[in-house]
Structure 1
């Protein structure tokens, strides 16, 4: 098994007993710190219909070559092997996953996958722009849940932040999701100083009006231009402070491996979430793997190492070989992302190429 370094390693990788690669197919995906992995994030494309300033440049993007993108058959094969090893949720991401022409087929094929405990769950993170058009077919194909990204509900701000004047289309997508049976419906917002930090309460009120849970995300060092500045990040404590001025916040217990901490608003039933990957990381409970659109396995969003499945998928390798690569990737997972480490290096890929 070999890994491809996509940047200098930020920490020494744990020593691995070679016999660990020989775990029987179907055994749980457990890393050297005892974390059991049940969630695979699958990026369908690095392309997007928006150009959010914190994610990618407006122009000059070098897109993945079409022939490098995994086919539906290849995605399904990896998913089937992962499900046999205990993965129970597949989240489709991008870029913007709804830009992929065969996205409905991808959902249908993955929804048919069965693991040891039965059917898997298919979730998706999207900007919502094509949801009114595609949601009925996606639901019929087996989509279980949807998250929609929306950082502002003010049209001028949206146009400046995304470099596209498409807020009405996003709002139509959210309305379509709210009218569907997909629950829970979650709206994701990156909190940004001087951009939308005066809009936090307004965003939560909008989410509640749609029957959705707003989840604020601390801005992470994943921009393609590598201009992230921790001093400019709106922290978990600042977010909670702003919301506490409007609601009484009561913690919701039982977070488990979920990335978001949740609080009830004035006793519930409505809730708000915060994903504080920088100031309150949840690495110790992380149960996620990532598969990029071009077939690279990543064991952490901030990893500088990738495991290339393409030679196996297109070179005649058996399912046991692919299972072994999944386990090799898991066994190389570090205890945490080390953002606070002086030697931390931002991943070479931007968020759109890694997958949200």
Structure 2
């Protein structure tokens, strides 16, 4: 499949960011800088860099958590619900800063970003710079009704599932959540959006990891990312009972059979450490302490404020 990636020359390498999977790759040949259409199978075969190989002027990718509100109340949620939520005008300003920063990929998250009427405007403003690819992470509840308006302005969409079955997913997210997420998945695919499932890997749902891969393949989803639980926000209260070690998560994923054509990725806490998050109040934050805490870094007043020092694990 041909889809849009972001490319940039960095310290002698051509780095390519995948907006669906969230991974970075080294192209074997130079590519034009900016948004570029590539074969996803070719990109998947390219090696992933370590930041020790690079000297990036900005984080390669980041999350813009542009809303605090959510229609669900998941006990493993890592969002800080105490921060102020920005206005539409402030979100447009942040979008311009991201577009000018040199960051290759941004994931629009929350809270639940599909609750924002101006979500397409934010995505459009970021893409207008011509350098950045944009994805969105959603619980899928409102995706079926908004897929048509989002498809032209997003380069990928990530749907959160906490289980491969209705019983498991709804246990964590509430009645009706699974059926709404699956309906949203189908609608997004019908509109031409490339979909990635994301599961927070926990002790009580890891037994459904293989079933989730099989379900994703059946639906035509492009891949599955398993996210190690972060003991941040509401998740602190269940971390002792539910959190896997990185070694346990790695072993779980290593034993899975990956259906043909499906991308599989595990984001360990080690990889999440140092990741940049722009929060809804306009502060750029970083995951710290092995991704066990979040630290406020700086109030963002321009693109330069997003170019925080990167760490080895922030790729």
TM-score normalised to structure 1 length: 0.63
Report the equivalent of 2:271. 281
Instruction: Call closer, same or farther: CA 1:325–1:274 in 2, change over 3 Å.
Output: closer
- Which runs of 5 or more structure 2 residues have no equivalent in the other structure? 1-50
**Aligned partner of 2:65 among 28, 43, 54:** 43
Equivalent residues in 2 for 1:66-105, closer than 5 Å: 68-105=84-121
Equivalent residues in 2 for 1:177-216, closer than 5 Å: 177-183=188-194, 185-193=195-203, 195-212=204-221, 213-216=223-226
TM-score normalised to structure 2 length: 0.70
Report the equivalent of 1:123. 135
What do residues 220-267 of structure 1 show as CA deviations (whole Å, max 9, x unaligned)?
A: 1113262254574234544454555552xxxxxxxxxxxxxxxxx37x
What do residues 63-111 of structure 1 show as CA deviations (whole Å, max 9, x unaligned)?
A: 65xxx43233333333323333312322210011001122222223333
What do residues 280-332 of structure 1 show as CA deviations (whole Å, max 9, x unaligned)?
A: 4365xx6x5321111111133643223223xx5xxxxxxxxx245334xx14x
Q: Shift in Å at residue 182 of structure 1?
A: 2.0
Instruction: Call closer, same or farther: CA 1:62–1:290 in 2, change over 3 Å.
Output: closer
Equivalent residues in 2 for 1:246-265, closer than 5 Å: 247=257, 265=258
Report the equivalent of 2:244. 234
Are the aligned partners of 2:99 and 2:127 in contact in 1 as well (CA < 8 Å)? no
Are the aligned partners of 1:200 and 1:239 in contact in 2 as well (CA < 8 Å)? no
1:145 matched to 2:161: no
Q: Shift in Å at residue 119 of structure 1?
A: 4.2
Of Structure 1 and Structure 2, which has the larger fraction of its residues in strand? 2
Report the equivalent of 1:341. none
1:293 matched to 2:315: no
Instruction: Call closer, same or farther: CA 1:243–1:293 in 2, change over 3 Å.
Output: closer
Select the structure with the greater relative contact order (CA < 8 A; seq sep ≥ 6): 1
Instruction: Call closer, same or farther: CA 1:105–1:282 in 2, change over 3 Å.
Output: closer
SS in 2 for 1:281: helix
**Inter-partner Cα distance in structure 1 for 2:256 and 2:132:** 38
**Inter-partner Cα distance in structure 2 for 1:49 and 1:77:** 26
1:326 matched to 2:313: no
Q: Shift in Å at residue 53 of structure 1?
A: 1.5
Are the aligned partners of 1:46 and 1:293 in contact in 2 as well (CA < 8 Å)? yes
SS in 2 for 1:51: coil
SS in 2 for 1:106: helix
**Inter-partner Cα distance in structure 2 for 1:132 and 1:87:** 30
Q: CA RMSD in A?
A: 3.2
Are the aligned partners of 1:222 and 1:228 in contact in 2 as well (CA < 8 Å)? no
**Which protein is bigger by CA-based radius of gyration?**
1
1:272 matched to 2:264: yes
How many positions carry a matched residue from both structures? 257
Instruction: Call closer, same or farther: CA 1:199–1:137 in 2, change over 3 Å.
Output: same
Q: Shift in Å at residue 273 of structure 1?
A: 1.5
**Inter-partner Cα distance in structure 2 for 1:157 and 1:187:** 15
